[in-house]
Amino acid sequence: MYAVFKRELFSLLNSLMAYITIGVFLLASGLLLWFFPDTSILEYGYAELSGFFGLAPFLFLFLIPAITMRSFAEERREGTYILLATRPLTDWQIIFAKYLACLVLVLFALLPTLIYTYSISELALPKGNIDTGAIIGSYIGLLLLGAAFVSIGIFASSLTKNQVVAFALSVFLCFFAYSGFEAMSQIFAFRSFENILLNLSVNEHYQSMSRGVLDTRDLVYFLTFILAFLGLTKLVIGGRKW
């Protein structure tokens, strides 16, 4: 499993697409957070990163599918998955190796944004007067959100040989998981199921963690969500005659 993880990670790091997507993510988040007047923290006037944590999930909707779209789709297109499947590895080991490699790349994309925390800490009056607990909780929530989106991306990639189709399907599923249930809860016909639909919404649990409250229910939700989509991936690749 470690060999597959290392192979997958180095393959991603050797891909120009990974650097382009991470670069676009950092550029977009930096411009939105510091330069565009409508979203600039300098215009907002408060030493907090709520703007960044509100924008990051929508950037993740495109960043993560771009990273995960090649996971199984490229293997199927080039016919290399058959060679991988003949190795002494279980389907779960292959899935987790690919999943963890993509998750590490998402972590690499998040690490440079820690400079935003240092920046607002230096800009705050008095210096260092920031809500550290809320920022830590938000970063944990954002990492779990990224992990959930990666599991969706891996699943979407296992469904098709075409990377573009995998990307589009992953974007749709991530968007629906993030906002779809919440939107459905506002429809009159579904009002009686409002609480159930809100509890299924990724955004609801992400916002809860962004307030700096680490609730075990939110952690259990994200872990269950991730395992559910990885389980669906296992069903897809396990039931296919390659």
The full length of the chain comes to 242
- Most confident stretch, 3-7, 84-88, 109-113, 238-242: 109-113
* Tokens linked to 78: 């080039």
Reported as a single tens digit per residue, the pLDDT across 154-187 is: 999 988 888 899 999 999 999 998 888 777 777 7
Query: What pLDDT score was predicted for residue 242?
Result: 47
pLDDT above 60 (res 57): yes
Residues of the chain by 3-state class (helix, strand, coil), percent to 5 = 80, 0, 20
- For residue 154, give Cα distances in angstroms to 72, 125, 169, 220: 7, 44, 11, 20
- What pLDDT score does 208 carry? 81
Is the pLDDT assigned to residue 1 strictly greater than 60?
Answer: yes
Confidence of residue 226 (pLDDT cuts 50, 70, 90): very high
| pLDDT tens, residue by residue, 191-203 | 666 777 777 888 8
With beta carbons less than 8 A apart as the criterion, state whether 143 and 222 touch. Answer: no
Distance CA 22, CA 163 (A): 18
pLDDT at 80: 64
Examine the pLDDT at 55 and tell me if it is beyond 90: no
Residue 72 pLDDT class (50, 70, 90 cuts): confident
pLDDT at 207: 83
Would you say residue 223 has pLDDT above 50?
yes
Name the most confidently modeled range: 34-48, 140-154, 196-210: 140-154
pLDDT tens for residues 8-30? 888 888 888 888 888 998 898 88
Region at 126 (left for phi over 0; alpha for psi -120 to 50; beta for the rest): beta
